[in-house]
Structure 1
Amino acid sequence: MNQNERKTVMRRMVLLIAVAALVMGLYALRLIFLQLVNSDEYKSQATNTTDYNFTVTAARGDIVDSTGKRIATTTTSYNVVLNKLQMGDEDLDSLLQRVVELFEKNGESWTDTLLISQPDAAGNYTFTARDDSSSDQRQLTTMKENLGLQQYATANDVMEMLVEKNDLQDLPLRWQRTLAGIHYEMELQAFSNVNNFVMAENVSDVTVATIKENSLSLPGVEIVQTSTRSYEQGDIVPAVLGRVGKITAEKWKVTDENGQVTYPLRDKGYNMNDVLGISGLESAYEDELRGKDGVETITRNSDGVIVNTQLTTVPEPGHTVQLTVNSDFQRAVNKALANNIDMINRTYNTGNMKAAAGAAVVIDVKNGGVLAASNYPSFDQNLYATQYDEYSADPSLPLFNRSLQGLYTPGSTFKPAVAVAALDSGLINQYSTVNCTGVYTYYRDYRPRCTQHGHSGNISVVDAIKWSCNIFFYDVGRRLTSDVYDAYAYKLGLAQRTGVEVSESLGRLTTKNDSNYNTSLDIQAAIGQGNTVVTPIQLATYAATLANNGVRYRTHFVKAILDTNTGEVIHETQPEVMDVVEDNGTTFALVRQGMKLVPSTITGKISSYPIAIACKTGTPQRSETYAPGKHYLNAMMIAYLPADDPEIAIGITVEYGGYGARTGDLVVDIANAYFAMKDGTLEVDPYVNPALSADPSDDTTGAADTTDTAGAAQDETQPEQGSAD
């Protein structure tokens, strides 16, 4: 190669190197531009994602008895949920039709609260709201308001708006109604990218499997595991336990009298389709039972692809609420009450009128805790939903909580309160007597009588309680005045709140402020007649206060709040003194002495029970008569035992039960169950969903009347031979 050729090659190599260097320089400049100048912009484009948070419902806390046995708990169930984020571009109505067809094939129902029927042959619709249902009528009113329609709008008007609003015109009428209902429910639940729609609840295993198998053709249709309230012991204080239910429109959106709209539950962290306690302890302890919901976060990139799903906040279960009620003892008292009512009907009430209902409450004297609160008839929580129509139609009212809500004239069970008032105020002492001649002659035109059962002549307060002498309490009550003995009755626990955590009736005493007040009512009130009405739980509280020498504790159902995971006690209910009647030294000793003697006047097991029982019977008249001047009677009882060192107090009522002494054997059965519970020998029938109910074939005319105020004031009817009233 000559000199010229070498120079040509060199020039070409230099040129190639220069071109290569230029290209590399351009790449370098581009990299610098991408990585340094606009790095933030391109990084954002590369990692542009959106997080969507969904609630993971926490398990509701258990309700257990005093020994830890579950009464109410949560079980796993499965809901069908629509996730709009997961649906992508899928046509919603086409998807809904496929899901509905799947539901119909498997016999499932789906969420549809639209109170409109399927169309008739002519294509017309009708409202399905019941005229006698205030809930249905409120729901119908709210539906029209939500749709911006006038209240006179017809079902056809509503459907026309829904069809047009959701573009359903091209579908068959059947599908128009079906999808309109689902769309309406979606709107109520605020269905969106961040709020799933619960389309069906508690679906079968078959439906769960079918949806999972067809997941590719059902985008956005998910099976979500959730918790459902269940009752392992559905017969234990069902009326006190209460119910859970879905949030209603009225509770979710609250409008005050000024038109101001608030969302109190949303502000507390609830979702629109959540479940909460709506009555009883389930409602009273909602904050403790609810728990803290978790959060599931779904991350989607800018292309709509879901790139991550994770549980970012773990749900925390609600706390456990432990009751003072012992479920075995409660079941024993239930059985004893039912047996006592059966005995009364077989032995005494052989006519048309039967003792069809009653209540018995047992309280721990030392702290006010309720050990049992029985209603007869009662119901089973596990059958409530399926047998509600039967329960609500039963004339004996099994859904009615007689223990806390029933109002009854106390009859002679009121006499110890008058005795306490007279002794404590100094009107009488242990030596004071009243001459019982069988007729009270103080008034010229009103002369009530006394049966003089076991007594006559001068009688002291102890014997007046023992024999339930009306004349003694007429005279003492008149001189004392109702203003005074009413004040003591209130302090002892009658006609006022006992302090229980759930709703209870207040009752009333016969006062001079009563519009029907007259002199005869004043002395009738002293023997527990007049217009006085109290509840069985008040009677038990009152008996416990007498047993405690005038110290009244707050009556309560909840023993403690426990950590669900560890069982650790978070809060324990302490005895709380609500009131005290100061004893002058002999007041309660004398009253308790009289009550301790009452069992000796009653035939049956109570008169010979080896452990001393203090009690007072009552035989108040009902307003109904079975013959001129002959009133039907309720059987009432207060008791505590052991009489000398009281542990439990009892309040009993049996509607149409006749004389109070007829419940003496019931007191003994309760005592036997209590002592067996204490020593671990109590045996009860296993729970098998036994929803107690009166035999509908019995004639229970009038049994639903739980306000037993007598009409005209009357002296108490002659008790049966061999028993106190």
Structure 2
Amino acid sequence: MRIERLTVLRVLTVIIGIILAARLYSLQIIKGEAYLAASNARSTAIVKEKAPRGDIKDRNGKNLVTNRKGYSVLWLKTNMPNDEINTMLFKLADVLAESGYEFSDSLPISQYPYEYTFTDDNKNGSVDDEKKAWFDSKRRLKDGMTAEEVMSFYADEVFEIKGEYEPDKLRAVIGIRYNAEMNGFSYSTPYTVASDVDIEVVMKVKERKSEFPDIEVLTEYFRQYEFGSLAAHTLGRIGKIYKEEYEELREKGYAMNDYVGKQGIEKICENDLRGTDGQKVLGAEDNGELLGIVNEDAVSGNYVVLTIDSELQMVAEESLKNTIEDIAAKGVGRGPQKGADANAGAAVVLDVNSAEVLALATYPSYNPETFNMDYSMLSNDDAKPLWNRAISGTYSPGSTFKPLTAVAALETGAVTTDEELICNGVYKFFKDYQPRCWINLEQGLSHGWENVTKAIEDSCNLYFYEAGRRTGIDALSTYAKKFGLGEYTGIELSEEAKGNMATPDYKKKLKGEDEEWFGGDTIQASIGQSFSHFTPLQLANYIATIANGGTRYRPHVIRSVNRAEDGVEVKRSAAVVEERIPITAENLDAVKRGMYGVVDEGSASKVFRDYGIEVGGKTGTAQGNAERSNTALFVAFAPYEKPEIAVAVVIEHGVRGVNAAGVAKDIFDEYFDISGEMPERYDVGELLP
């Protein structure tokens, strides 16, 4: 035994010796000259070689986000005299300005005429509070100074800029020097003056090297969104590290001028997408020439595969955009606006057997690649293109809630599948509150006796008033929770809204503790009006749960994380069951047949006339205020017999639910590879559910 141990120790000693010898050979022979050059250089700085972020792909492996090579201009700190620094930076600012480069820095002063820019609505506190905090952090500034006085102070006393310069050029150079100080500019930490510059800038800087002795151009990777704004809210964006983020991120190895995921997958998968930075030691010789002396290669981040089908996503976005613009242009109903105010919406597509997100569309949207350039326009757009309506927008569900009321009423025994309730146009159970059915309001008619299946098909308000009253608000809210309505879905994306189900407690929270809950509140909640507000994602998942027989899955948009070098899976998402809802086969069949009737003979039948796939659906119209058009909703699943996907579409001020049905049809066309044209829209009055 002792002999065996000695043998093992000898082998280990030999192996360690070989490793040390190899390392010594690398340091002395292979990189010896480089390290000698570094030690003899006048000054050195370690510059990160930024690792390429991992790609983001759709479920079929199509690249959605990749990287492209570009150039950044770095300023290396040396012992250059201050006046020479200023001369060099003014020349550099000229070169950048000639190329059309737009400077961006954190100096809170505008271009000439100089004014403070403490106007960010996302910040808390008043402008004066922000200004005071800024002055307090800059001890050399005096409280009460105007922006122009601050600029003069920086030019004359801080950076000692001599001579006369145009105001815009002066602002650019002061901004560069100010930002450099704010970002820890030092002998070992260069400052990035400009990112992603044109090749013309690179050529001029290199050709005029004697004028830019402390300027280095580095090749870096920049994010490229292959399809522009496609799935922008899901993919997200990257941006520079905010001051308040830096303390935490610095401990993870980030530099102040690094980029980090800010929203969407770019943010959620930051640790996976971020690679391992390499480094380059820059040395400055006595003649001022900058040399790259030692390199350590960067390692690319992992790539992320989404559940999104990019083709389906594209169809959903295009159909949503075209439909909204069509409604606004043509006018499709009565009322003061007639749909002219339609300007936004969302569409969600889920796999009913796993809650994989196949499409998550929001309109209007934005291009992550030009976010910084477009930010002012985007943030001031009344349609709020930066808002991810699919997961953050909450909407009154209108009649799309009626299938849930049907399930709750049937499962609690409040009604049965063959029981018929009377619709005579006016609900007279309450003496002091007698709402009417939509068909009575619109056409002066009534539905007569209807069972639950026919009531869903006709969207009969009176049937669901009575069914909801019998069921009660407690059972309705319990079933809403079971189906995930008014609850976080658990999707990986941040900024998801919870929404809310109308309940006595919520009414008190909304209107005050003294507010009572009346029977009228219950019956309005039963038809999806009242105070209930749900996200399009919640609506899609609720319909998927009905379609698959009562299993509610957690929606997810990340399919896997894979190593960049060989594609091996590092992580894999699995379907997660959130709730199994007991629904009898008889009750489920009655509800689904009602949804089939909506598409076959009801309010969505003209959209799906002679359609090649059997669909179950439900239109909805959420009533707004008198000055705005109603919101249009449509939820559906297909195929009817063996459901594969569920869809939810919401169009703000889209007048009526049937207008949203056209978007769902386009989605089904793409998914099931069906060709055909949608029939012309028809005017049925804005109160049609």
Which TM-score tier does this pair reach, normalised by the shorter chain? Answer: 0.7 to 0.9
* 2:664 equivalent among 663, 667, 680: 667
- Residues 322 and 561, structure 1, Cα contact 8 Å, conserved in 2: yes
Q: Percent same amino acid at aligned positions?
A: 32
Cα distance in 1, alignment partners of residues 100 and 569 from structure 2: 45
Amino acid at match of 1:432: E
Are 2:571 and 1:577 equivalent residues in the alignment? no
- Residues 377 and 397, structure 1, Cα contact 8 Å, conserved in 2: yes
Q: Which residue of 2 aligns with 1:256?
A: none
- Residues 244 and 279, structure 1, Cα contact 8 Å, conserved in 2: yes
- Residues 111 and 185, structure 1, Cα contact 8 Å, conserved in 2: no
Cα distance in 2, alignment partners of residues 85 and 155 from structure 1: 31
Q: Which residue of 1 aligns with 2:20?
A: none
Inter-CA distance 542–117: structure 2 relative to 1 (3 Å threshold)? closer
Deviations 1:175-214 (A, max 9, x none): 8755443322121111111101111222221110111122
Inter-CA distance 511–657: structure 2 relative to 1 (3 Å threshold)? same
* Residue 643 of structure 1, CA deviation: 1.0
Inter-CA distance 140–321: structure 2 relative to 1 (3 Å threshold)? farther
2:531 aligned counterpart, secondary structure: coil
- Residues 635 and 654, structure 1, Cα contact 8 Å, conserved in 2: yes
Amino acid at match of 1:512: P
Deviations 1:242-284 (A, max 9, x none): 22111122322xxxxxxxxxx1111111001011111222111
- Residues 144 and 158, structure 1, Cα contact 8 Å, conserved in 2: no
Amino acid at match of 1:614: G
Amino acid at match of 1:591: V
Are 2:480 and 1:486 equivalent residues in the alignment? no
Q: Which residue of 2 aligns with 1:531?
A: 531
Q: Which residue of 1 aligns with 2:355?
A: 368
Deviations 1:149-182 (A, max 9, x none): 4654433553465346535164446587554433
Amino acid at match of 1:241: L
- Residues 601 and 724, structure 1, Cα contact 8 Å, conserved in 2: no
* 2:88 equivalent among 84, 92, 95: 95
1:222 aligned counterpart, secondary structure: strand
Cα distance in 1, alignment partners of residues 687 and 143 from structure 2: 64
Amino acid at match of 1:426: G
Are 2:391 and 1:404 equivalent residues in the alignment? yes
* Residue 477 of structure 1, CA deviation: 1.2
- Residues 303 and 561, structure 2, Cα contact 8 Å, conserved in 1: yes
Inter-CA distance 119–674: structure 2 relative to 1 (3 Å threshold)? closer
- Residues 189 and 272, structure 1, Cα contact 8 Å, conserved in 2: yes
Cα distance in 1, alignment partners of residues 179 and 357 from structure 2: 43
Amino acid at match of 1:83: L
Cα distance in 2, alignment partners of residues 585 and 607 from structure 1: 28
* 2:54 equivalent among 23, 48, 61: 61
2:304 aligned counterpart, secondary structure: strand
Higher deviation after alignment, 491-500 or 175-184: 175-184
Cα distance in 2, alignment partners of residues 472 and 573 from structure 1: 42
Deviations 1:529-568 (A, max 9, x none): 1011111111111111111211111112222212223222
Q: Which residue of 2 aligns with 1:622?
A: 624
1:601 aligned counterpart, secondary structure: coil
Higher deviation after alignment, 589-598 or 526-535: 589-598
* 2:299 equivalent among 292, 311, 316: 316
Are 2:346 and 1:359 equivalent residues in the alignment? yes
Are 2:451 and 1:464 equivalent residues in the alignment? no
- Residues 394 and 535, structure 2, Cα contact 8 Å, conserved in 1: yes
Cα distance in 2, alignment partners of residues 377 and 107 from structure 1: 28
Inter-CA distance 117–158: structure 2 relative to 1 (3 Å threshold)? same
Inter-CA distance 98–431: structure 2 relative to 1 (3 Å threshold)? closer
Higher deviation after alignment, 167-176 or 545-554: 167-176
Cα distance in 1, alignment partners of residues 269 and 305 from structure 2: 11
Inter-CA distance 139–428: structure 2 relative to 1 (3 Å threshold)? same
Cα distance in 2, alignment partners of residues 438 and 580 from structure 1: 37
Higher deviation after alignment, 454-463 or 575-584: 454-463
Are 2:272 and 1:326 equivalent residues in the alignment? no
- Residues 60 and 289, structure 1, Cα contact 8 Å, conserved in 2: yes
Q: Which residue of 1 aligns with 2:602?
A: 601
- Residues 82 and 160, structure 2, Cα contact 8 Å, conserved in 1: no
- Residues 103 and 172, structure 2, Cα contact 8 Å, conserved in 1: no
- Residues 90 and 219, structure 1, Cα contact 8 Å, conserved in 2: no
- Residues 455 and 467, structure 1, Cα contact 8 Å, conserved in 2: no
Higher deviation after alignment, 482-491 or 139-148: 139-148
Deviations 1:586-623 (A, max 9, x none): 33232222222221223414243232111111122112
Q: Which residue of 1 aligns with 2:646?
A: 649
What pairs up with 1:408-487 in 2 under 5 angstroms? 408-451=395-438, 456-487=447-478
* Residue 414 of structure 1, CA deviation: 0.5
Inter-CA distance 666–167: structure 2 relative to 1 (3 Å threshold)? closer
* Residue 400 of structure 1, CA deviation: 3.1
- Unaligned runs of 5+ residues in structure 1 are 1-43, 121-125, 253-262, 627-631, 684-718
1:228 aligned counterpart, secondary structure: strand
Q: Which residue of 2 aligns with 1:709?
A: none
Cα distance in 1, alignment partners of residues 51 and 498 from structure 2: 36
Cα distance in 2, alignment partners of residues 304 and 221 from structure 1: 10
What pairs up with 1:98-247 in 2 under 5 angstroms? 98-110=91-103, 112-116=105-109, 126-129=114-117, 131=119, 133=121, 143-148=134-139, 149=141, 152-155=144-147, 158-159=150-151, 161-163=153-155, 166=158, 168=160, 170-172=162-164, 179-247=173-241
* Residue 360 of structure 1, CA deviation: 1.6
Cα distance in 2, alignment partners of residues 118 and 322 from structure 1: 43
Deviations 1:282-323 (A, max 9, x none): 1111111121111223579999999981113x2111221222
- Residues 320 and 363, structure 2, Cα contact 8 Å, conserved in 1: yes
Cα distance in 2, alignment partners of residues 66 and 635 from structure 1: 30
Amino acid at match of 2:301: G
Inter-CA distance 64–83: structure 2 relative to 1 (3 Å threshold)? same
Q: Which residue of 2 aligns with 1:553?
A: 553
* Residue 325 of structure 1, CA deviation: 1.4
Q: Which residue of 1 aligns with 2:501?
A: 509
Inter-CA distance 479–112: structure 2 relative to 1 (3 Å threshold)? closer
Are 2:39 and 1:75 equivalent residues in the alignment? no
- Residues 333 and 673, structure 1, Cα contact 8 Å, conserved in 2: no
Are 2:633 and 1:640 equivalent residues in the alignment? no
2:626 aligned counterpart, secondary structure: strand
Inter-CA distance 299–375: structure 2 relative to 1 (3 Å threshold)? closer
- Residues 436 and 452, structure 1, Cα contact 8 Å, conserved in 2: no
Amino acid at match of 1:510: A
Cα distance in 2, alignment partners of residues 673 and 433 from structure 1: 39
* Residue 91 of structure 1, CA deviation: 4.3
- Residues 540 and 648, structure 2, Cα contact 8 Å, conserved in 1: yes
- Residues 111 and 198, structure 1, Cα contact 8 Å, conserved in 2: no
Cα distance in 2, alignment partners of residues 504 and 554 from structure 1: 13
Cα distance in 1, alignment partners of residues 162 and 607 from structure 2: 79
Larger C-alpha radius of gyration, 1 or 2? 1
The TM-score normalised by the length of structure 1 is: 0.78
* Residue 326 of structure 1, CA deviation: 1.5
Q: Which residue of 2 aligns with 1:36?
A: none
Deviations 1:127-166 (A, max 9, x none): 3415465569587556423312465443355346534653
Higher deviation after alignment, 579-588 or 403-412: 579-588
* Residue 642 of structure 1, CA deviation: 0.5
- Unaligned runs of 5+ residues in structure 2 are 1-35, 512-516, 678-682
Q: CA RMSD in A?
A: 3.5
What pairs up with 1:252-267 in 2 under 5 angstroms? 252=246, 263-267=247-251
- Residues 420 and 588, structure 1, Cα contact 8 Å, conserved in 2: yes
Inter-CA distance 172–463: structure 2 relative to 1 (3 Å threshold)? same
Amino acid at match of 1:411: G
